[in-house]
Amino acid sequence: MSLPNSVEGGKADLKTEANPMITVLSGFLMQSGGVQGLMNKFTQAGLGNVFSSWVGSGPRQPVTGDQIQQILGSEQIKGLAAKLGVDPAQASQLVAEHLPKIINHLTPAGKIDLSINVQQRLAGLAPSFLQKLTGQPSQKPVAIEA
């Protein structure tokens, strides 16, 4: 699934649309105990092998929006949906589409590094994340809100 039409139609607004997703995911990662904590949540839901594929160097296994909602919780998804101005199902799909890429970015050596600064790495991801979403270079970095 790609971004909703309302977002695709207004690329100038995309910075404000993508930043909440990165911010919410960053906050969720921090609340979950970082990448390792999120992996534990996926493992508890029976999807540890899917998460591990995002960390490794092989092909990334997909995850569904329903699985994301189950793992992240409906309140997290509702919060993200409200910030993006989409319904929760669309927000779950966006997370399902982009979380594997984000986790892969946070684990460049193919393993979970407990010493990495997740917020700093995600801040570095914001411009490239926007570029991938729009197909155009980001004009300036997007700050990650604490």
pLDDT of residue 132: 55
Provide the residue type at 21 as one letter: M
pLDDT of residue 112: 84
CB 79 within 8 A of CB 92: no
CB 26 within 8 A of CB 38: no
Across the chain, which distance is largest between two alpha carbons, in Å? 40
User: Looking at residues 47-64, what average pLDDT do you find?
Assistant: 92
CB 130 within 8 A of CB 15: yes
List, for residues 78-110, the tens digit of each pLDDT value: 887 887 788 999 989 988 988 888 888 888 888
Q: CA dihedral defined by 97, 98, 101, 102, rounded to 10 degrees?
A: -150
What's the whole-model pTM score?
Answer: 0.69
List, for residues 104-126, the tens digit of each pLDDT value: 888 888 888 777 777 777 766 66
